[in-house]
Structure 1
Amino acid sequence: MTRDCDGDLPVLAFLQRAIDGTLSPDDTTHLTYPTPISRLLGFELVGVSERAAEVRFVADVSRHGNQQGTLHGGMLCELADAAMGTAHSTAIVAGESFTSLDLDARFLRPVWSGPLIARARCTHAGRTISHYACDVLREDGKPVASFTSAILTLRGDAATGR
Structure 2
Amino acid sequence: MADLRLDGNDAGVATPPNYPHAIDIFRRLDGLEALGMMQRGEVPVTNITRWMNFSLETVERGHVVFGMVPHEELYNLIGSVHGGIITTLMDNALGCSVQSLLPAGQVATTMDLHTRFHRPVTAATGKVFADARVVHAGRRTATSEAHLVDANGTVYATGTSTLMILVDQPNR
Is TM-score (shorter-chain normalized) higher than 0.5? yes
Change (3 A) 1:152 1:9: closer
Matched residue, 2:60: 49
- Deviation, 1:17, is 4.0
Contact 2:32 2:102 in 1 (8 A): no
Partner SS for 2:120: coil
What number of residue pairs does the alignment pair up? 144
Q: 1:154/1:9 Cα in 2 relative to 1: closer, same or farther (>3 Å)?
A: closer
**Within 2, Cα distance between the matches of 1:110 and 1:87?**
25
Which residue in the other structure is 1:3 paired with? none
Q: Among residues 24, 37, 42, which one is paired with 2:48 in the alignment?
A: 37
1:102-155 CA-partner distances (Å, limit 9, x unpaired)? 111111001111200010000111111110000000222100000000000012
Q: Is residue 30 of structure 2 the alignment partner of residue 10 of structure 1?
A: yes
Out of 118, 133, 142, the position equivalent to 1:130 is 142
Give the match's secondary structure for 1:148.
strand
Question: Identity, % of aligned pairs?
Answer: 30
8 Å Cα contact 2:32-2:60 kept in structure 1:
yes
**Residue among 81, 91, 97 paired with 2:107:** 97
**Structure 2 matches for 1:10-159, cutoff 5 A?**
10-20=30-40, 23=42, 33-60=44-71, 62-113=72-123, 114-155=126-167, 157=169
What is the CA deviation profile of residues 25-57 of structure 1, one whole-angstrom value per residue up to 9, with x for unaligned ones? Answer: xxx6xxxx4111110110010101112100010
Specify whether residues 20 and 69 from structure 1 end up closer, same or farther in structure 2 by C-alpha distance, changes over 3 A only. same
Secondary structure of 1:71's counterpart equals coil
Distance 2:114 2:108 in 1: 18
- Counterpart contact for 2:30–2:105, Cα < 8 Å: no
Give the unaligned 5+ runs of structure 1: 1-6
Q: TM-score, normalised by structure 1?
A: 0.80
